[in-house]
Amino acid sequence: MKHSLKLIALSAYLLVLSACTTINIDQVRLKDTVELIEGDAMVVLGRHQTAEIQTEGSLVACIGGRLQRGTQNVRIIPEPEFVDAFYPWFEARTAPLHPEKLRKVLDNPLVAEKIDAMNIRYFVWVEGSTERTNSSGSMTCSIGPGGGGCFGFGTWEDTSDYETTIWDLKTFDEVGRVSTEAVGTSYMPAFVIPIPLLAQVQGDACQGMGKQLVRFFAKDPNALKVNQ
């Protein structure tokens, strides 16, 4: 009876307690109109040029996937495919950091021809990371003759901080930026068995940034698909 009451109390507690994430999204449009027409392609790339700047490939792929699902008749070129096709010009330490540097890369006829053949109009650079920023609580686990288990409570906070920079290859200008900060708190209560309640910080950051990028490229918010 006591065991059942404890399980009921624990279940009720878990229903009240849930992981949560807060997201802030900012958009800066540096050009009044951003042209995106049928047949255009864009590539989504992560910044990896130093040990401190290592944007996760999973986040880059997630943003690319949401752009692909949110736009019509526009091809989103995956990062691995693009980097392999243009080796070594877009490797981590050689990738251009500014639109003017990209112009110089395209002075190479082989690179320019490939860009034209793939009909690439925009570069979307993603920079940032997700980090553990705070943790507290404790948990102990033991094994005895009658069995074992874990008891305690832990909590931690993850912060995703990303910024996308959009380059127009037609004008070699930076046309906009979209930044996202997502902060999530996860919980790990343990009553015999640890039960993780995880905040999907990186996934929430991707969803928010992906939707904002789709709207960025839409002249009319209803002109492109936004159901992601």
User: Using omega within 30 degrees of 0 as the cis cutoff, is the peptide bond preceding 88 cis?
Assistant: yes
- 194-201 long-range Cβ contacts below 8 angstroms, 24+ apart: 194/139, 194/150, 195/14, 197/14, 197/17, 197/18, 197/19, 198/19, 199/19, 199/20, 199/21, 199/158, 200/19, 200/21, 201/21, 201/130, 201/158, 201/159, 201/160
8 pLDDT above the threshold of 50: no
CB 161 within 8 A of CB 133: no
Q: What is the pLDDT of residue 167?
A: 96
200, HSE (Cβ side, Cα atoms, 13 Å): 6
Between 186 and 145, residue with greater pLDDT: 186
CB 155 within 8 A of CB 187: yes
- Please state, as a whole number, how many other Cβ atoms lie within 10 Å of the Cβ of residue 114: 16
Q: Residue 82 corresponds to which tokens in the numbers above?
A: 């693009």
CB 202 within 8 A of CB 58: yes
Mean pLDDT of 169-178: 93
Q: Residue 155: which pLDDT band, with cuts at 50, 70 and 90?
A: confident
Q: What is the pTM of this model?
A: 0.80
CB 175 within 8 A of CB 123: no
Mean pLDDT of 6-30: 64
The DSSP line for 118-181 is HTEEEEEEEEEEEEEEEEEEEEEEEEETTEEEEEEEEEEEEEEEEEEEEEETTTTEEEEEEEEE
Q: How far apart are CA 199 and CA 182, in angstroms?
A: 10
- CA 17 to centroid of chain Cα atoms: 26
CB 42 within 8 A of CB 76: yes
Between 196 and 129, residue with greater pLDDT: 129
Length of the chain in residues, anyone? 228
Q: What is the pLDDT of residues 50-64, one digit of tens each?
A: 666 689 999 999 999
Is the Cα torsion angle 41, 70, 96, 103 positive or negative in sign? positive
